[in-house]
Amino acid sequence: MTPSKRESKIHISHHAGEGGPFARLAEDVRKGLTKTPRELPPKYFYDARGAELFEQICELPEYYPTRTERALLEQIADDVVTSFRPTTLVEFGSGSSRKTRILLDAMTRARHLDLYVPIDVSEDMLRQTAYALGEDYAGLRVHGVIGDFEKPVELLPGGGCRLIVFLGGTIGNLTADDATRFLRNVARLLSPGDRFLLGTDLVKDVGLLERAYNDAAGVTAAFNRNILSVINRNLSANFDPNRFEHLAFYNREESRIEMHLVARESHQVSIDAIDLTVDFAKGESIRTEISCKYTRAMVEKMFAEAGLRLLRWDTDQDHLFALSLSDAVH
Ligand SMILES: C[S@@+](CC[C@H](N)C(=O)[O-])C[C@H]1O[C@@H](n2cnc3c(N)ncnc32)[C@H](O)[C@@H]1O
């Protein structure tokens, strides 16, 4: 394909009103590292290396969510697509869009595919993916949006009937209040006839859950520590990632996996760009991610609070992961 033809199919923009995905890094790092207990927002994992490490995690034998969700998508994609004939696919937290291809393929088979709108903070991954999809799907227009899915999206590009998706169990990274706020925004974006497909990881055996976040090859640990390199590079900090241990465990009361970085020894870290020094005591931790696990009742409750109506619920035979299709209660 000639460059001009290629360009005309692909459009990448920044979420309106945002100064780029890392615009609030300084503010978030100051806030997160000066509170007790300390925490960092998981969206900062995903620089180019973080996005690549996440891709590796998806292929790990211990990480059941990706392959389970992929198999579910393969089972239901044609059914879902033919039931309401969407022309536009909008995806929050799209990453490499690898599983999304199953939906794009189903839309191609149904001869309705027109526009794909991936929305992600990970700029390199978004650009790379947008161009790859433009090459692989003849006639597909891609409008990538670099931005934070927690900020309300006012107007999504694309007319026609839309399927909005949020896969990978990424909703689990949000607190209950933030998840409800996010879902309310989705409900607002849905016109009559549009649908929302959500992937959620389910409550299950604790051993299986904890192994998924503590893989033998140490890829999740490297992914966790990468957030410190992101801060070093963007805020002139001097974190030594090796002075922090990866810790991931299931918090039963909160129904979530928590990922932490625990100081192996007491030491001080300087973050020059925000003029902050942080004293870590030995054993002190920074919580870097939560990953909530749901039951069907929990998903239905969230939907009801957000103004969404569950239309279909699909899970694998071991009840590891679920896909929920919903529309908005208008
Ligand atoms: C757990 S990965 C899932 C990727 C893909 N959807 C999948 O199912 O494999 C989370 C994705 O969401 C993106 N992400 C995380 N927080 C975000 C935020 N607040 N706004 C936009 N994208 C975000 C990350 O860059 C990453 O691509």
Ligand 1 binding pocket (C-beta < 6 A) is: 43, 46, 54, 58, 66, 93-95, 99, 120-122, 148-150, 167-168, 170
pLDDT of 16: 67
Is residue 90 classed exposed, middle or buried when 0-12, 13-18 and 19+ CB atoms within 10 A define those classes?
A: buried
pLDDT of 22: 75
Q: Whose CA is nearest to atom 22 of ligand 1?
A: 120
Summarize pLDDT for 10-46 with one digit per residue, the tens. Answer: 999 887 666 666 778 999 999 999 999 999 999 999 9
Separation of CA 245 and ligand 1 centre (Å): 24
Q: Has residue 3 got a pLDDT over 50?
A: no
Amino acid at 302: M
Summarize pLDDT for 125-148 with one digit per residue, the tens. Answer: 999 999 999 999 998 999 999 999
Ligand 1 atom at minimal distance to the Cα of residue 125: 27
The pTM of the full predicted model, rounded to 2 decimals, is: 0.95
| Pairing mode, strands 308-315 and 321-328 | antiparallel
Q: Has residue 325 got a pLDDT over 90?
A: yes
- Average pLDDT of the residues in 253-264: 98
Separation of CA 172 and ligand 1 centre (Å): 11
Where does the pLDDT of residue 154 fall: very low under 50, low under 70, confident under 90, or very high at 90 and above? low
Separation of CA 120 and ligand 1 centre (Å): 6
Helices (runs of H) and strands (runs of E) counted in the chain: 10, 14
Q: Which fold has domain 3-15+58-204+294-328?
A: Rossmann fold (3.40.50)
Q: What percent of the chain has pLDDT over 70?
A: 94
pLDDT of 18: 62
Ligand 1 atom at minimal distance to the Cα of residue 46: 25
Domain with CATH 3.40.50.150 in the chain: 3-15+58-204+294-328
Separation of CA 53 and ligand 1 centre (Å): 13
- Read out DSSP for 279-319? EEPTT-EEEEEEEE-B-HHHHHHHHHHHTEEEEEEEE-TT-
Q: Whose CA is nearest to atom 18 of ligand 1?
A: 148
Q: Has residue 155 got a pLDDT over 80?
A: no
pLDDT of 17: 65
Name the strands in the sheet holding 256-263, side by side, starting at the edge strand that comes first in the sequence.
38-39, 285-292, 256-263, 244-251
Asked if residues 122 and 97 have their Cβ atoms less than 8 Å apart, the reply is no
Q: Whose CA is nearest to atom 14 of ligand 1?
A: 93
